[in-house]
């Protein structure tokens, strides 16, 4: 690959040409041009929106080529830039924590619908909080609420704590723990547990970079639902709801697990029309 800053003739390469060249290397990605734009905006220290509006005036920083090379090796863009947009917030991410996906915003949408016409939840719990994205998105949605994010991973907790301090100072706590929660009841419980079967084929940028402990859940992907279901009822306040992410093919199996624990279950689809969220009440 030629230099990201100089053309063969020694003249400064334009940002537009650099983006085109970078995107051409990301043939494995579903969004190659977007990937290149996010990386260039990151190296320039500006939002992507500003980059697009001022593309003709932007230089190509010397470190852009190195970051393009990392992406060409399938490293996720979010790990390269250190941030990910989710709902109405931007969260810090890094190796050791699962990267939030747009699919998970379905859980927030389900919660918004559940509490429509009310003041909203006052106490929110995020089981397996990771970066804290779900909890902090909910707290941004309901400014009077407070919440707790629980995770077993020290790396994830460190990132969640930093995100909490930046996005919802004084309103969010990141604590070590498991599926049994804190011993308290909450108006809203959010949870994106591991749900990928151990023999599933997943892209290299996921399998080679993101933490396996946040992805895989036994031969059928249901192991953690079996652990969560019998503990969940005791964590829901009267009138409360749990919004739990599922794989698109797990509707019936996952619903049956929570129904067997005496809970009422509905299912919400994501924007692609795929089953994505269990809406669980006691």
Walking along the chain (282 residues) 10 residues at a time, the average pLDDT comes out as: 38 83 97 98 96 94 97 98 98 97 98 98 98 98 98 97 98 98 98 97 95 97 98 97 98 98 98 98 96
For residue 142, how far is the Cα from the chain centroid? 19
Structure tokens at 224: 């953690």
pTM recorded for the entire structure: 0.93
β-partners of residue 172 are: 147
pLDDT of residue 12: 52
Contacts 24+ apart (CB under 8 A), 218-222: 220/253, 221/194, 221/195, 221/196, 221/197, 221/247, 221/250, 222/195, 222/250, 222/253, 222/254, 222/257
pLDDT of residue 220: 97
User: Distance between CA 280 and CA 260 in Å, rounded?
Assistant: 12
Class of domain 86-281 as given by CATH:
alpha beta
β-partners of residue 236 are: 186
In contact, 35 and 16? CB cutoff 8 Å:
no
- CB count in 10 Å sphere of residue 147: 28
Among candidate residues 184, 179, 209, the one with its CA nearest the CA of residue 194 = 179
- CB count in 10 Å sphere of residue 31: 12
pLDDT of residue 7: 39
Helices (H), 169-270: 204-207, 223-232, 251-260
User: Distance between CA 57 and CA 40 in Å, rounded?
Assistant: 13
Strands 172-176 and 146-151: parallel
pLDDT of residue 232: 98
CATH 1.10.8, the chain: domain bounds: 15-73
Among candidate residues 260, 263, 266, the one with its CA nearest the CA of residue 279 = 266
Class of domain 15-73 as given by CATH:
mainly alpha
CATH 3.40.50.150, the chain: domain bounds: 86-281
- Placement of tokens 């969260």 in the chain: 91
């Amino acid at each position: 690959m030629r230099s990201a800053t100089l053309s063969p003739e020694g003249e400064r390469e334009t940002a537009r040409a650099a983006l085109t060249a970078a995107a051409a290397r990301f043939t494995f990605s579903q969004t190659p041009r977007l990937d290149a734009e996010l990386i260039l905006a990151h190296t320039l220290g500006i939002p992507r929106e500003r980059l697009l509006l001022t593309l003709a005036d932007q230089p190509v920083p010397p470190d852009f080529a190195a970051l393009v090379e990392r992406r060409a090796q399938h490293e996720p863009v979010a790990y390269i830039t250190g941030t990910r947009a989710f709902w109405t917030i931007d969260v810090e991410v890094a190796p050791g924590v699962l990267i939030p996906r747009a699919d998970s915003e379905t859980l927030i949408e389900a919660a918004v619908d559940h509490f429509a016409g009310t003041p909203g939840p006052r106490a929110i719990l995020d089981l397996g909080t990771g970066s804290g994205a779900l909890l902090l998105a909910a707290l941004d949605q309901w400014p009077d609420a407070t919440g707790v994010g629980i995770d077993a991973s020290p790396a994830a907790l460190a990132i969640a704590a930093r995100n909490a301090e930046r996005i919802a100072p004084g309103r969010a706590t990141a604590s070590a723990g498991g599926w049994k929660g804190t011993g308290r009841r909450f108006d809203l419980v959010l949870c994106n547990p591991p749900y990928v079967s151990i023999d599933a084929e997943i892209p290299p940028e996921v399998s080679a970079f993101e933490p396996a402990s946040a992805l895989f859940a036994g031969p059928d992907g249901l192991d953690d639902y079996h652990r969560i279901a019998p503990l969940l009822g005791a964590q829901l306040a009267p009138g409360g709801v749990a919004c739990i992410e599922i794989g698109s093919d797990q509707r019936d199996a996952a619903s049956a697990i929570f129904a067997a624990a005496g809970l009422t279950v509905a299912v919400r689809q994501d924007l692609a029309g795929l089953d994505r969220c269990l809406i669980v009440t006691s």
